[in-house]
Amino acid sequence: MGLVWLRAWWMTLPHSGFLLDATLALIGTSIVASTDEFHQSFLPNRTGLSSDVLLDCLGAFTVQLVLYLCIRVFRPKRLARAA
């Protein structure tokens, strides 16, 4: 989910930096994770835990960090956008 949000913001805001796109992607991921856990709290066989939201956000952050490092190493010009 974090990569989907990151790609969406990366394409929508072409002149923004990676940090802004990643931050917006993390916010989107946390909203989706929160609503999913809220929904699960109403189901009899599931539980809605805030720790699951944290786990989802941590996973999105980790994937975005790995992607940033890969881009930084293999395609550094992609990060240097013209303003």
What average pLDDT does this structure show over 22-47?
Answer: 93
pLDDT band at 73 (very low <50, low <70, confident <90, very high): very high
pLDDT band at 15 (very low <50, low <70, confident <90, very high): confident
Which H or E element spans position 57?
A: helix 50-74
Work out the angle at residue 22's Cα, subtended by the Cα atoms of residues 52 and 1, and round it to the nearest 5 degrees: 45
What average pLDDT does this structure show over 3-18?
Answer: 90
pLDDT band at 47 (very low <50, low <70, confident <90, very high): confident
The pLDDT mean for the chain works out to 90
